[in-house]
Structure 1
């Protein structure tokens, strides 16, 4: 009986360690490694690189059947990728934005369950596109959901883009690599 308990305890510790070391994935690619390595893997998935600015590399490509811009964030030295951001086309139509948001929220709920945080607040007293887009531009509309998943967090939101447009954004943040970046930044201050 004692050997059985020890074996179960060791198995449990091994499972916990494995889970703690797991990275969040984007399109089946773990968010880990250098900027160069991760970007090469995105290219093999059909993404086309648009450019690179400091520690962010941008791509265009297909995400769930929709054209999107994808940004990959890494530490200043490029040694550790920590986040991926998906940005869909801007729209001046509230229905387009909210339908896209609702579609992805439904997908993430199916895969990960209910969001760990969700705020969908629209103070507009009118249901017109002009009123809703005005409220979004003023920053009074909040549509955001977040999931704490194995390896990190996924955030979905509708945000202001330009003067009269909005955009749906999905952010993937790998918890291990974000923490590594924070620790490195703490050393700098």
Structure 2
């Protein structure tokens, strides 16, 4: 699977260097987190998750939003683009566990884990998850990419650890 035109089969170091060459900059959080523009949005955080030398997933966290309509706009915009590229989601849930009459209750539901806005896209090479979620510093939209081959390699590493 590819992310931003780069194979997720690369080692984390090579992958990060290729992202840096595309203009992403290291963040102060971690060597595996870069900041940059993604899909027309500025200041996105890109996290490269790995187990030993295998990239297990790439997570893009869009800038935090303080209004539900802004979160929903980004989510729907990205979902539309993913549908254009990959077809309809394999699975899609867009609901609140409790009734939410206004922005305040919707935003609060995200923080409480009672907002289920998730679309899952499957491809031959992996899967892509799109969701609205609460990240440590606020409500955000996140897209994560998961490579099938790397997941199988990671599984073998875990089995060897047992």
Global fold match (TM > 0.5): yes
- State how far apart, in whole Å, the 2-side matches of 1:29 and 1:126 are: 40
| Aligned residue in 2 for 1:131 | 105
Structure ranking higher in helix proportion = 1
**What is the DSSP-based 3-state SS (H/G/I as helix, E as strand, rest coil) of the residue aligned with 1:136?**
helix
TM-score (norm 1): 0.79
- State how far apart, in whole Å, the 2-side matches of 1:120 and 1:133 are: 14
TM-score (norm 2): 0.92
Range with bigger deviation, 126-135 or 106-115: 126-135
Q: Deviations over 1:47-96 (max 9, x none)?
A: 1112575xx700001101112000112222xx222311100111221111
The CA RMSD measured in Å over matched residues stands at 1.7
- State how far apart, in whole Å, the 2-side matches of 1:126 and 1:81 are: 38
Q: Which runs of 5+ in 1 are unaligned?
A: 1-23
**Structure with greater Cα Rg:** 1
Q: Which runs of 5+ in 2 are unaligned?
A: none
Q: Which runs of 4+ in 1 moved over 6 A?
A: none
Paired residues, number:
161
| Aligned residue in 2 for 1:39 | 16
- In structure 2, the CA distance between the partners of 1:151 and 1:126, relative to structure 1 (3 Å rule), is closer
- State how far apart, in whole Å, the 2-side matches of 1:167 and 1:140 are: 14
